[in-house]
Amino acid sequence: MFKRVALTVLAAGALGVAVGGLTAPRSTVQASMAQVIAPQTQAIWDITNRATNDAGDALDPSKISAADWAKLGTAGRQLREEALLLAKDGDVTVAESGAKIEGASAKQIEAYINANRAAFAEHARTLADAGDAIVKASETKDVAPLFKAASNLDQLCESCHVQFWYPPQ
């Protein structure tokens, strides 16, 4: 019995290390974007767009429910973690072979990224910082930093895409 419990604890611990820590991004940048970054960013925008005041210059805290704050925290954490994984050193794979993508070809995009890995990593860290700001805002229920971070997401995404996904335009 002790052996079975010990093996279960050992296996659970190993699984926790594998999935609980920052290990590796999805198999491709496209997968990271499609499976984590885009859906979490959309979740943030859905909530903040619904909570935007009539003037469009701030969020109305009465329009953000407890469930929304929890979703914002989860989305911000997932955004931060995935962005930090993309910021790690090493060459990237943009897309699986034969995948359809907009912009340049996957090989061209990989070449752009790998030729300027530091800039790509900096874009990813900036995105991670935005995710962190959203997490902190969700914990304190502070709409001002939430509005700022959510409002800046589009520009953060676009600046990286212009440099790496759609060059030269």
146, 74, 61, 54 alpha-carbon torsion, rounded to 10°: 70
pLDDT tens digits for range 20-68? 445 555 689 999 999 999 999 999 999 999 999 999 999 999 999 999 9
112, 163 in Cβ contact below 8 A? yes
Q: Token digits for 124?
A: 């990813």
**3-class state of residue 85 by DSSP:** helix
What is the average pLDDT across 134-163?
96
Entry pTM: 0.82
**Cβ within 8 Å of residue 141, ≥6 positions away:** 61, 64, 69
pLDDT tens digits for range 108-126? 899 999 999 999 999 999 9
Task: Quote the pLDDT of residue 1.
Answer: 35
48, 49, 50, 56 alpha-carbon torsion, rounded to 10°: 100
Of the pLDDT bands very low, low, confident and very high (cuts 50, 70, 90), residue 91 is confident
47, 141 in Cβ contact below 8 A? no
Share of the chain above pLDDT 70, in %: 83
Q: Token digits for 115?
A: 């030729």
Q: Token digits for 79?
A: 């955004």
31, 76 in Cβ contact below 8 A? no
Better pLDDT: 166 or 123: 123
